[in-house]
Amino acid sequence: MESKDIEISKEIGQCLYDIAPEDTKIILMIAAFSPEGDVSQFEFYSNNGVNESEFSISDSDTMKLHYLAAAHQKFMVANNQPAWTRFEFTVNVDTSKFSMELGYEEDAFREGSLR
């Protein structure tokens, strides 16, 4: 049985795969969260092997990703980890693998791009 954080991560990866543009090879989601997990900001990028571009998603998909990422943050806190405030999640479509990088910035929200 996989750890709950891996289960949540797989759900995030599947959701991103489902909403990314068709020719995508690499998907990048950058999220900024409040330490409480109730407020978030997202950016989405796709790379087709030639070009990278930002893409938008529906409000319902944004809410689903907010819910999943917040569940991941809460899981980490419940396991005596600090609440991350920055979440970079990458999906390699060709290999069906994901990676994530967590950040602990005091003020993860930014004017303009999260990059």
Measured distance CA(33)–CA(66) in Å, rounded:
9
Per-residue pLDDT, 108: 86
Per-residue pLDDT band at 83 (split at 50, 70, 90)? very high
What pTM was computed for the model? 0.94
Residues paired with 45 in a beta bridge: 28, 54
Per-residue pLDDT, 1: 77
Mean pLDDT (the chain, rounded): 95
Per-residue pLDDT, 2: 84
Measured distance CA(14)–CA(96) in Å, rounded:
10
pLDDT at 104 over 90: yes
Per-residue pLDDT, 15: 98
DSSP H/E element including 31 = strand 26-33
pLDDT, tens digit (0-9, with 9 covering 90-100), for 11-55: 999 999 999 999 999 999 999 999 888 999 999 999 999 999 999
